[in-house]
Structure 1
Amino acid sequence: MTMIIPEELKNFEVKFDAPLSDYTFTKVGGQADILAFPKTVDEVAQLIKLANKSETPLTVLGNASNLIVKDSGIRGMVILLEKLDKVNYAGYSLEAQAGAKLIDVSRIALEHSLSGLEFACGIPGSIGGAVYMNAGAYDGEISHVLASCKVIDMEGNIKVLSKEDMRFGYRQSAVQNEKLIVLSAKFDLKAGDPSLIKADMDKFTELRESKQPLEYPSCGSVFKRPAGYFAGQLIQEAGCQGHRIGGVEVSTKHAGFMVNVDQGTASDYIALIDWVIEQVKAKSGVTLEPEVRIIGD
C-alpha cells in the first residue's frame, strides 16, 4: 500500500494516527492513518484526487454517528466532513452542506417558519449521512423533502442528482449503490406556523428523550425495521434487553439501541449484534438486518 506523504497535505487540516474513537458516537474505533478535515468542496475534491494519485485507500464519513469503526481502525486516509457545514436559506428552500447536523438544520427551518423537517429534530446525524441512508423518524424521511443533492464520485467529479436520480428506498439511496459522496442537499419545504412547527418538534424531542438511552454513547437505531414488524419489539420479546458483551449492552430503555456502558469496543458491538440476530431468529423466525454501518480493517 502506497501513501500520501505529509508534505502533500501541508495545506490541509489533518491528523496522523488519529484515534477514531474520539469522533464516533459509539466512542469506539481504532486509528486512522490520516484523518483530514476539509472546509470546502474544493478541498474535498483535492483530497480525493491526491488519494487516487498516490493510491492511498480512502474513506469518507459525515459526522460518524450511525456507524461502528472496527478496533483495528482504517488504513489510508479518512475524510471527516464535519467542517463542511454551511446552510443557506432562499425562499422555501434550505441548502445544507454534508457536515451540517440534521438537528441544526431542522432548527434553522423553524427559524424561517419552514415546515417539513420537524421529524429530523432529534436525529443525531449529518446531512450527508441522512441523505446517504434516507434517514427518517415519526413518519417522515429525507426523501419526502429532498429536492436535489450535490455529490462527488471517487475520481473527484462533481454532479447534481435530482430526487428521482436518488432512487430512495427504505434506508437506501443511489449514493450507497453508486459509491458517491454527498457534498450538500437542497430541501424544498413549506411555509408554516412557527408555533405549530415548534410544538411538533417539542413533541418529537420529548418522545425521543423519554424512550431513547441518550445518556450513553450509541450508534442510534442498530437494525432496520423488518417488514411487518418492529425491530425493538422483536428484540424485547426475544429476551435480549440488558444482555451485555464486554462493555456494550442492549439498552433496557429501548431494545433497538446498543449502548456503550463500560469502555466497550467495536468487537463488543459486533459480537452483540450477531448474538441479537441469532436470538431474534430463534424466537420469531425473523432475520434482522443491521442499519448501522460497520467499517474498518
Structure 2
Amino acid sequence: MKIDLDVKLSEIIPKQNIIKNEIMSRHTTFRTGGPADYFVKVGTKEALSKLIKLFHEEGLTFSKDYYILGNGSNLLVSDEGYRGIILSLEGEFAEVVPESDTVIRAGAAALNVAVANLARDKELKGFEFAHGIPGSIGGALVMNAGAYGGEMKQVVRSVTAIMEDGTEKIFSRDELEFDYRTSVFKRINCVITDALIELEKGNRADIEALMEDLKNRRVSKQPLEYPSAGSTFKRPEGYFAGKLIEDAGLKGYSVGGAQVSEKHSGFVINTGDATSDDVYKLICDVRKKVMESFGVELSPEVILLGEFKA
C-alpha cells in the first residue's frame, strides 16, 4: 500500500481499535482463515466516512485493499490471510430501534435475528423468514438474502450508505435493484450503514409460531451443529443446488476437514479441522463434478477474500 496506514488510521480511529495481524478464523462462521494485516473496529458514521474518503483518495479499492466485515457468515478468507484492511462495524452500526409503528431502523452490523426479535416484540410481521439467517443486515441487503419464501426486497423501504467521497446517500426502494441474491450494492462501491425495514402489524402469537416453525425446519434439515457459511451455492435456474450435488454422488464427499454435509448437500461444513484451502478445493471439485454430470454451472454464494490456488 502507498500510504503509512499506522499514521493515517490512528488519526481517525483510536489506537486500541486498530489490531494488526488479526486471525480471521475468529470472525468467520467457517472458522477458517489466516491473519488480516489490519483489523479496524469502527463505531460511528463520522469515522467510517473519513476512512472511506481516505481510501478512495489514496487509490485503495474495495475487496482488494479493504473489506467490510459483517458477521462473517458468507466469507471464506485465505489461509495465508488478507493483505489489506478489515473494517469491523460496531457501535451505532449494531443498533436496532423502532422508527415508527411499522418501521424498524437497523444498523448494517445488526444481526438479522436481532431485527426479527424486535419485530416480534413490536408485533410486526414479515421478517420471520430472516430469523434464522446467520448474518448481519448489511450482508443481507447486499445479497438480497432470503429463505422460506421471504426476501429482503419485500421488507426494505430504504438503505443509507457512505459513498466513495465520504458523503451519505439514501437509496429508495426503487434504486436498490434487488434480484435473486444480488442488489445494486454488488455493482457500486459504497458502504451500507443502516436501513429502514417496513413491516405490517400482526399478532405476536402467530409471529412466534411461524418463527418456531421455521427454526424447527432448519434444525431438522440443515447441519447447524457444524461451522459453515450456510447454503454454499446459488440456486441455478430450474434446479436445486443440493439435489444436483447429491445426484452427482457427492453427499458426504470431503477434502481434508471440509465436507459436503450428509444432512443437506447444499452445505459445505467444517467437520473440525478444515482449512480454507480444504473448503475452496471442495467447492472447486463440486462445481467440476456437477458440470461434468449435468452440464450445470454452480455459482458459489461464498465470498473469497485473499489468494486461493485452484
Interval containing the TM-score (normalised by the shorter chain)? over 0.9
Q: Structure 1 residues 82 and 266 mapped into 2: Cα distance closer, same or farther (>3 Å)?
A: farther
1:70 equivalenced with 2:78 (yes/no): yes
Aligned residues: 297
Q: In 2, distance between residues paired with 1:296 and 1:279? A: 25
Q: Distance in 2 between matches of 1:118 and 1:203?
A: 10
| 1: CA distance, partners of 2:81 / 2:52 | 20
**How many angstroms apart in 2 are the aligned matches of 1:75 and 1:202?**
42
Please list, as runs of the form range in 1=range in 2, the aligned pairs for 1:1-297 lying within 5 A after superposition. Answer: 1-10=1-10, 11-12=13-14, 13-55=17-59, 57-83=65-91, 84-89=93-98, 90-297=100-307
Q: How far 1:2 sits from its partner (Å)?
A: 2.3
Q: TM-score, normalised by structure 1?
A: 0.96
Give the conservation status (yes or no) of the 8 Å contact 1:4–1:50: no
Deviations 1:112-161 (A, max 9, x none): 00011010010001000000000000000000000000011233221000
Higher deviation after alignment, 172-181 or 278-287 = 278-287
Give me the whole-angstrom Cα distance separating, in 1, the residues matched to 2:57 and 2:23. Answer: 25
For the residue of structure 1 that corresponds to 2:175, the secondary structure is coil
Whether contact under 8 Å (1:19, 1:31) holds in the other structure is: yes
Whole-Å Cα distance in 1 between the matches of residues 90 and 255 of structure 2? 31
* Structure 2 unpaired stretches of 5+: none
Moved more, 39-48 or 9-18: 9-18
Aligned Cα root-mean-square deviation (Å): 1.4
- Structure 1 CA distance, aligned partners of 2:3 and 2:71? 24
Is 1:219–1:258's contact at 8 Å kept on the other side of the alignment? yes
For 1:6, the aligned partner's letter is: D
1:228-267: CA deviations, max 9, x gaps?
1111111111111111111100001110001111321111
Question: Is the 8 Å Cα contact of residues 96 and 114 (structure 2) preserved in structure 1?
Answer: no
8 Å CA contact retained: 1:235, 1:256: yes
| Structure-1 separation of matches of 2:217 and 2:288 | 29
CA positional deviation for 1:208: 0.6
Does structure 2 conserve the Cα–Cα contact (< 8 Å) formed by 1:62 and 1:82?
no
Which amino acid in the other structure matches residue 188 of structure 1?
Answer: E
TM-score of the aligned structures, taking structure 2 as reference length: 0.92
In the alignment, the residues of structure 2 paired with residue 157 and residue 270 of structure 1 have an alpha-carbon distance, to the nearest angstrom, of 37
**Mind listing any 5+ residue stretches in structure 1 that lack a counterpart?**
none
CA displacement, residues 197-220 of structure 1 (integer Å, 9 cap, x when unaligned): 111000000001111111111111
User: Offset at 1:54?
Assistant: 5.0
Q: Please report how far the alpha carbon of residue 53 of structure 1 lies from its aligned counterpart in structure 2 after TM superposition.
A: 4.8
Distance change >3 Å, CA 5–CA 179, structure 1 → 2? closer
Q: Give the 4+ runs in structure 1 shifted more than 6 A.
A: none
SS of residue matched to 2:79: coil
What secondary structure is seen at the aligned counterpart in 1 of 2:208? Answer: helix
Counterpart amino acid of 1:19? I
* Alpha carbons 2:24, 2:32 under 8 Å: kept: yes
